[in-house]
Amino acid sequence: MSLKDKLSELRQRGLADIKKSSDLKDVNQVRVQLLGKKGPITEVLRGMRDLDAEERPKVGAFANEIRDDLTNALAERKAELEEAVLNAQLAKETIDVTLPGTPVAKGEPHVIQQIVDQIEDLFLGMGYQVLSGPEVEEDKYNFEMMNLPKNHPARDMQDTFYITKEILMRTQTSPMQARTLEKHDFSQGPLKMISPGVVYRRDTDDPTHSHQFHQVEGLVIDKHVTMADLKGTLQVLAHELFGDKFDVRLRPSYFPFTEPSVEADITCFNCGGKGCKVCKNTGWIEVLGAGMVHPNVLKMAGVDPDEYGGFAFGVGPDRFAMLKYGVDDIRNFYLNDVRFLTQFTKKG
């Protein structure tokens, strides 16, 4: 049998094997068997060295033609099998669009975020800026520019986590007030801002305390700002969060960054001011601290206290949420228990 006859026979046998291939693995095995270095075509071509010089080019061209035929047949069969696999997968994964859809649970902002959002919306409507600052803060802005120099005894109440002697996790969002005071151009108008964010103190976690909690601090600086402006602002805030039936009273207190300083109480939500166990029979519940900005705070920020003054206040959204919804343990807000959090599905 001549080499051409052997090659023709290999082509017929190879095409038959390719056609019988039932999957991609079979196709690959046939390709290796036919066209591999140890395959029959290669073996037949080794006999070309015994041919005459005139016959070799003809047999070589014929061999290449057969190789091309087999390669094309392999490619076509591979494409057919891949298409069959894809069609089978598509048929298996077909979605019946007539079936009812799977309901998707709709989430809500965290209850504390709801309180923060409500406070921000209120003060934005009153012309305030909402400014956020770094949680890793300088001692200069966290304490010193808030009239709390080093070794001031009031620092003990705000013991925090120190990174270095001058860098710490902020204990309040007041540093943003100092930073903004330094840059504000009062020729363009008064400064009205709130600064929400997370703060850190070295507290022992219990039902009413956490080493990490939220705070919204407010600041208004202008000419002729009075304590009456502060009380009016706090009344608007209390009515927004708790309702019009709640009133606000101010009690003298002490904070290093305000003078005079006050504690703000609202009407007890449990008894409506009549007196109960929740309010210790006073009819009032303490909710925040506030006061008129201390002249030293203004001076350190480069603001003339003889010309400008204002008020500041600090709100705890965590505490507001506890009061508003009757939550008795602040840790519930941070445990990520969906059963607890889904109770607060309505904003505000």
Binding-site residue ranges for Mg(2+): 259
Alpha-carbon torsion angle 268, 269, 270, 275, nearest 10: 20
Binding annotation: 259
Q: Which residues of 28-43 are buried (b: 16+ CB within 10 A; e: fewer)?
A: eebbeebbeeebbbee
Q: In the structure encoding, which two tokens stand for residue 260, read together? A: 């005079």
- 3-state SS of the chain is CCHHHHHHHHHHHHHHHHHHCCCHHHHHHHHHHHHCCCCHHHHHHHHHHHCCCCHHHHHHHHHHHHHHHHHHHHHHHHHHHHHHHHHHHHHHCCCCCCCCCCCCCCCCCCHHHHHHHHHHHHHHHCCCEECCCCCEEEHHHHCHHHCCCCCCHHHHHHCCCECCCCEEECCCCCHHHHHHHHHCCHHHCCEEEEEEEEEECCCCCECCECCEEEEEEEEEEECCCCHHHHHHHHHHHHHHHHCCCCCEEEEEEEECCEEEEEEEEEECCCCCCCCCCCCCCCCEEEEEEEEEECHHHHHHCCCCCCCCEEEEEEECHHHHHHHHHCCCCHHHHHCCCHHHHCCCCCCC
Instruction: Tell me which residue has tokens 């009273």.
Output: 249
